[in-house]
A and B are shown apart, each in its own frame.
Chain A
Amino acid sequence: MSAPSSPAAPWLPRLVVAPSFIASLLFIYGLMAWNGYLSVSASRLLPSYEFVGFEQYVQLADSDRFRVALTNMGLFGALFIGGAMALGVLLAVLLDQKVRAEGALRTIYLYPMAISFIVTGTAWKWMLNPSLGLEQVVRGWGFEGFSFDWLVNPDKAIYCVAIAGVWQSAGFVMALFLAALRGIDDSIIKAAQVDGASLPRIYWRILLPSLRPVFFSTLMVVSHLAIKSFDLVMALTAGGPGYATDLPATFMYTTAFTRGQIGLGAASATVMLATIAAIVVPYLHSELRSRR
Chain B
Amino acid sequence: MTKNPVKKIERHLIAAAAALALCTAQAGEVEVLHYWTSGGEAKAAAALKATLQAKGDSWKDFAVAGGGGDSAMTVLKSRVVSGNAPAAAQIKGPSLQEWAREGVLANIDEVAKADKWDESLPRIVSDVMKYKGHYIAAPVNVHRVNWLWANPEVFKKANAKVPGNWDEFFTAAEALKKAGVIPVAHGGQNWQDFTTFESVALGVGGVDFYKKALVQLDQAALTSATMEKVLTAFKKIKDYTDKGAPGRDWNLATAMVIKGEAGMQLMGDWAKGEFVAAGKKPGKDFVCLAAPGTASAYTFNVDSFAMFKVKGADKEQAQKNLASAIMSPSFQETFSLNKGSIPVRLNVKMDAFDDCAKLSSKDFVQTAKSSSLVPSIAHGMAVPSATEGAIKDAVSQFWNTDKMSVKDAMTRIAAAAKTI
Chain A residues with a Cβ under 8 A of chain B: 44-47, 62, 64-65, 125, 129-132, 149, 151-152, 154, 237-244, 254-255, 257-261
10 closest residue pairs by CB, A with B: A131-B244, A242-B400, A242-B397, A241-B400, A259-B389, A152-B246, A242-B396, A259-B386, A257-B74, A241-B246
Could you say which of B98, B397, B400 contacts A45, with CB atoms under 8 Å apart? B98
20 new A-B contacts, CB < 8 A, other than A241-B400, A242-B400, are: A45-B98, A45-B99, A47-B81, A65-B393, A129-B244, A131-B243, A131-B244, A152-B243, A152-B246, A154-B400, A238-B247, A241-B188, A244-B401, A255-B389, A257-B70, A257-B77, A258-B70, A258-B73, A259-B385, A259-B389
In the complex, whether B190 has a CB less than 8 A from a CB of chain A is yes
Chain B stretch 158-178: residues in CB contact (< 8 A) with chain A: none
| Nearest neighbor of A133 in chain B, beta-carbon distance | B244
Task: Say whether, besides A129-B244, A131-B243, A154-B400, A239 and B98 are in contact (CB < 8 Å).
Answer: no
| Nearest neighbor of A236 in chain B, beta-carbon distance | B247
What is the distance, in angstroms, from A67's C-beta to the closest C-beta of chain B? Answer: 12
Interface size class of B (residues with CB under 8 A): 20 to 34
Highest count of chain A CB atoms <10 Å: which of B242, B247, B384, B415? B247
In the bound complex, CA of A62 to CA of B415 (Å)? 10
In the bound complex, CA of A243 to CA of B102 (Å)? 31
**Contact, CB under 8 Å: A243 / B95:** no
**Contact, CB under 8 Å: A46 / B244:** no
Chain B stretch 262-309: residues in CB contact (< 8 A) with chain A: none
**26 residue pairs A–B, Cβ–Cβ below 8 Å:** A44-B98, A45-B95, A45-B98, A45-B102, A46-B102, A62-B415, A65-B393, A125-B247, A149-B243, A151-B247, A152-B188, A152-B244, A152-B246, A152-B247, A154-B401, A237-B246, A239-B190, A242-B190, A242-B398, A243-B393, A244-B397, A244-B401, A255-B389, A257-B73, A258-B385, A260-B384
| Nearest neighbor of B242 in chain A, beta-carbon distance | A131
In the bound complex, CA of A238 to CA of B244 (Å)? 15
| Nearest neighbor of B74 in chain A, beta-carbon distance | A257
In the complex, whether B337 has a CB less than 8 A from a CB of chain A is no
Could you say which of B73, B80, B388, B400 contacts A244, with CB atoms under 8 Å apart? B400
In the bound complex, CA of A152 to CA of B246 (Å)? 6
In the bound complex, CA of A237 to CA of B80 (Å)? 32
* B190: A residues at CB distance < 8 A: 239, 242-243
In the bound complex, CA of A149 to CA of B246 (Å)? 11
In the complex, whether B399 has a CB less than 8 A from a CB of chain A is yes
In the complex, whether B189 has a CB less than 8 A from a CB of chain A is yes
| Nearest neighbor of A262 in chain B, beta-carbon distance | B77
In the bound complex, CA of A149 to CA of B412 (Å)? 27
* A241: B residues at CB distance < 8 A: 188, 246, 400-401
Task: Say whether, besides A238-B189, A242-B393, A244-B400, A260 and B98 are in contact (CB < 8 Å).
Answer: yes
* A257: B residues at CB distance < 8 A: 70, 73-74, 77
What is the distance, in angstroms, from A233's C-beta to the closest C-beta of chain B? Answer: 12
Per-residue 0/1 for B215-249: is the Cβ within 8 Å of any A Cβ (1 yes, 0 no)? 00000000000000000000000000011111100
Chain B stretch 53-83: residues in CB contact (< 8 A) with chain A: 70, 73-74, 77, 80-81
Could you say which of A46, A125, A132, A260 contacts B81, with CB atoms under 8 Å apart? A46
| Nearest neighbor of A237 in chain B, beta-carbon distance | B247
In the bound complex, CA of A154 to CA of B70 (Å)? 25
| Nearest neighbor of A136 in chain B, beta-carbon distance | B244
**Contact, CB under 8 Å: B247 / A129:** yes
* A152: B residues at CB distance < 8 A: 188, 243-247
Chain B stretch 362-416: residues in CB contact (< 8 A) with chain A: 384-386, 388-389, 393, 396-401, 412, 415
* B99: A residues at CB distance < 8 A: 45
In the bound complex, CA of A238 to CA of B396 (Å)? 13
**Contact, CB under 8 Å: A46 / B77:** yes
Highest count of chain A CB atoms <10 Å: which of B80, B242, B386? B386
* B70: A residues at CB distance < 8 A: 257-258
* A243: B residues at CB distance < 8 A: 190, 393, 396-397
| Nearest neighbor of A128 in chain B, beta-carbon distance | B247
Task: Say whether, besides A46-B81, A46-B102, A243-B396, A130 and B389 are in contact (CB < 8 Å).
Answer: no
* B98: A residues at CB distance < 8 A: 44-45, 260
**Contact, CB under 8 Å: B80 / A46:** yes
In the bound complex, CA of A149 to CA of B244 (Å)? 9
In the bound complex, CA of A125 to CA of B385 (Å)? 28
In the bound complex, CA of A13 to CA of B33 (Å)? 47
* B74: A residues at CB distance < 8 A: 257
Could you say which of B245, B389, B400 contacts A254, with CB atoms under 8 Å apart? B389
